[in-house]
Amino acid sequence: MSDMGAQIRGLGDQLRWAAEIRPPHLGTHSEVLFAGMGGSGIAGDYAAAIASANTTRLVVQKGYGPLPTWATRQRPLVIAASYSGNTEETLDLALSSHEKGLPVAVVTTGGKLAEMGRERSWPAVMVPAGLQPRAAVGHMVGATLKLLEGAHAIDDQRFALVEAADLVDATVAEGGRRWEEARAIATRLVGRICIIYAGGPITSPVAQRWKTQVNENAKMPAWWSLLPELDHNEITGWETLPELTSQSLGIVALVDRSDHPRIRARLAHTARLTQDAVPWVAEIASEGTSPLARLMSLTAVGDLVSWMLAEAAGVDPVPVATIERLKELLAEDHS
Ligand code: PA5
């Protein structure tokens, strides 16, 4: 088995690395468009949760251009984030933003994005290379926050980064309380498809992260659904196939103190109404004070669970051969 465990254990140090970055001067922006996909794109979702607490509107666009109409009118700062620097959707959006005269800043390890940025003098935070993009989430989130600080779009995140780093370290410490919690969840999820339920500003982006980590590390299907919306549709989807769903699926719920009280009530009622059709494996609560620490505390548990599921399935969590193959096929279309 390869070193995904070590990469997860390094998450705290990634956040500490970011705490030391001096933010570049980017002027003042209260509107930000974030371009990024997959393991890099999640940094935008986390940054949006933090930005909204700072009255900044941060919109994440996961896909190609063109720019949304609001952006051509409002002229936001565009942050293009790609760990490899070679993700075509992100490059496309960065270029269309530049062509429309919008300010662009970059988070990357290199690749074409770094090259494009150098040629056009885009401000950049360069992150250390050598990890899987999804395993560099501490670098990518931290670097994005530093760009937002440099744009006066959010408060100074230094203390939050250190708080998050300490919490993550405690979470991923083998044999610790959170580690054992992750182990118990993974044990119950073996042979099942994991569904993550959430419904708040902190928990919703983390639910997506859990899903994608199970996909990429354990190479298993997973999905996430959000409250209150799922109470208006998905809740009825548990009625017809209880023999199948009770044997093959499992729900993990994520909670945070910012959840609306009615979301808590909905979670409890939803669990009660569906528990015969699907096991509710666990409810995981965030820890910490700052939004970033709460995001990262839930993230670390999910990363551990996905890694433990890979281990239980005898799967190497590191390579993502199908994603790489797809990228090759798309590149061949151009040649
Ligand atoms: O985790 C992964 O490997 C993917 O989700 C990548 O992050 C995604 O394909 C985008 O690549 P990059 O992060 O290099 O822009």
Q: What is the pLDDT of residues 127-151, one digit of tens each?
A: 999 999 999 999 999 999 999 999 9
Residue among 29, 216, 219, 287 flagged as catalytic: 216
The pLDDT > 90 percentage for the chain reads 96
Q: Which atom of ligand 1 is nearest to the CA of 134?
A: 1
Residue 124 in 3-state DSSP? Answer: strand
Residue range 277-326, pLDDT digits in tens: 999 999 999 999 999 999 999 999 999 999 999 999 999 999 999 999 99
**How would residue 72 be classed by pLDDT, with cut points 50, 70 and 90?**
very high
* pLDDT for residue 260 is more than 80: yes
Q: Cα of 83 to ligand 1 centre, how many Å?
A: 7
Q: Cα of 81 to ligand 1 centre, how many Å?
A: 10
Q: Cα of 82 to ligand 1 centre, how many Å?
A: 7
Residue 126 in 3-state DSSP? Answer: strand
Which position has the higher pLDDT, 1 or 292?
292
CB neighbours of residue 198 within 10 Å: 28
For the question of residue 269 being annotated catalytic, the response is no
**How would residue 46 be classed by pLDDT, with cut points 50, 70 and 90?**
very high
* pLDDT for residue 2 is more than 60: no
Q: Cα of 139 to ligand 1 centre, how many Å?
A: 14
Distance CA 48, CA 254 (A): 18
Name residues whose C-beta falls within 8 Å of residue 206's C-beta, 6 or more positions apart in sequence. Answer: 198, 254, 295, 298, 299, 302
For the question of residue 232 being annotated catalytic, the response is yes
Distance CA 145, CA 156 (A): 9
* pLDDT for residue 90 is more than 50: yes
* pLDDT for residue 1 is more than 60: no
- Nearest-CA residue for ligand 1 atom 5 is 38
Q: What pTM value is reported for the model? A: 0.97
Phi, psi of 57 (to 5 degrees): -95, 115
- Nearest-CA residue for ligand 1 atom 15 is 82
- Nearest-CA residue for ligand 1 atom 14 is 84
- DSSP bridge pairs for 124: 106
For tokens 């609306």, name the residue: 260
Distance CA 162, CA 160 (A): 5
For the question of residue 216 being annotated catalytic, the response is yes
Q: Which atom of ligand 1 is nearest to the CA of 111?
A: 14
Distance CA 297, CA 306 (A): 15
Q: Which atom of ligand 1 is nearest to the CA of 140?
A: 13
pLDDT at 53: 82
Residues lining ligand 1, CB < 6 A? Answer: 37-40, 82-84, 87, 90, 132-134, 216, 320, 323
Q: Cα of 134 to ligand 1 centre, how many Å?
A: 7
* pLDDT for residue 190 is more than 80: yes
